[in-house]
Structure 1
Amino acid sequence: MTSGTPGTPGNPDGADAVEDVTAAGGTETADGADTTVAGGTTEDAALGPRQRLTTDTARPEGGGRAAPGDAPAPARQWPLLTVLVLAGLGLLVVGTDPFPQSFRIGAILVGAALLTGAAIRRALPSVGMLAVRSRFTDMITYGVMGGLIVLLALMVQPGPWLRIPFLEDVLHLTVT
């Protein structure tokens, strides 16, 4: 990133000091002096204090490509595409209603898609755009949501495939 006033590009020929973002989050000029001051501003001797502009965001842990960079885009994002295709198949089954209990099967497929996302997030070091937050948070979020969707799909009326008496009693207490 080259220095310059906000709204104007920096001078790439080196007339302005070049800033690099350090691991600690501050900035350094070409001569190595830290220019971060209180309030998130940077100070340049020639320009005075100015706002630091965010030019990029950090990728989540494991957010790297799932395939080499020379692979086509779908191959690089196969974990996300796997989850989306499985969820889309579930929504298609629910929307078209091709057989009895298709709402239940479709909802189970949507829940299974999220559970698959949790398993992929746990097993692979790089999952591309499937990584949204930290690995732990993604696994818990995908797993809990997928598990709840599957559980509710199994318990939905009429004719539930799974009966949990405790939950039925709670439901009757809240409704009546």
Structure 2
Amino acid sequence: MREEGGELTVRDPVSAPDAEGRPRRVTRRFPLFTKDTARPEGGGRAASGDAFAPARQWPVLAVLGLVGLGLVVTAFGQFRLGTLLIGIALLGGGAMRWLLPDVGMLAVRSRFTDIVTYGVMGLAIVLLAMMAQPNPWLQIPFLKDTLHFTVTSE
């Protein structure tokens, strides 16, 4: 293991050796038994290191704050509005992950995986909130037929 240009590189042990007997192929992957893991792409601080701690992690705090607000609104009897806030918070997290170069602790996995995860979960929660009974804001006709065929025993 050595550093080249600020990046950690590891010689891949399965490649053919060079004249000195070292493997030729270089990869960014960590060896099998690693003591540490690489930070996700975009996982750097969202603000400079000398900034106040919450300012460095403002993206994740914004998402968690909106989710918390949605949970409080839901607890006070506004189910649809609260769940919409939760879904919008996740969609906003996906948008921040896509648009911002560094999002701090909002970066959990690779950029693509985070965007897809936040987007799918946020969209599912928003759609379910819009279809909640009574008086749904969104009606999808084939879902009623699907439910009818799965519940009835005829």
* TM-score, normalised via structure 1 length: 0.69
- Residue number in structure 2 paired with 1:65: 45
Note the C-alpha offset of 1:160. 0.9
Letter in 2 for 1:67: A
* Alignment root-mean-square deviation, CA: 2.4
Larger radius of gyration: 1
Tell me if the contact between 2:2 and 2:10 (Cα under 8 Å) persists in the aligned partners: no
Note the C-alpha offset of 1:20. 4.4
Report SS of the residue matched to 1:24: strand
CA distance in 2, matches of 1:69, 1:124: 17
Structure 2 unaligned spans of 5+: 13-20, 23-30
Report SS of the residue matched to 2:9: coil
CA distance in 2, matches of 1:106, 1:153: 9
- Residue number in structure 2 paired with 1:132: 108
Note the C-alpha offset of 1:53. 5.6
Tell me if the contact between 2:74 and 2:83 (Cα under 8 Å) persists in the aligned partners: yes
Tell me if the contact between 2:89 and 2:122 (Cα under 8 Å) persists in the aligned partners: yes
CA distance in 1, matches of 2:95, 2:136: 27
Q: Deviations over 1:33-78 (max 9, x none)?
A: 97xxxxx68xxxxxxxxxx661x22100100000011001100000
Tell me if the contact between 2:2 and 2:9 (Cα under 8 Å) persists in the aligned partners: no
In the alignment, structure 1 residue 24 sits paired with structure 2 residue 10: yes
In the alignment, structure 1 residue 147 sits paired with structure 2 residue 114: no
Note the C-alpha offset of 1:175. 2.1
- Residue number in structure 2 paired with 1:86: 66
Letter in 1 for 2:67: A
Q: 1:164 aligns with which of 122, 125, 140?
A: 140
Structure of greater relative contact order (alpha carbons < 8 Å, 6+ residues apart): 2
CA distance in 1, matches of 2:9, 2:60: 29
Note the C-alpha offset of 1:148. 0.4
CA distance in 2, matches of 1:138, 1:25: 29
Q: 2:81 aligns with which of 83, 101, 105?
A: 105
Tell me if the contact between 2:131 and 2:138 (Cα under 8 Å) persists in the aligned partners: yes
Corresponding pairs, count: 135
* TM-score, normalised via structure 2 length: 0.78
Q: Deviations over 1:118-153 (max 9, x none)?
A: 000010011000001111110000000000000001
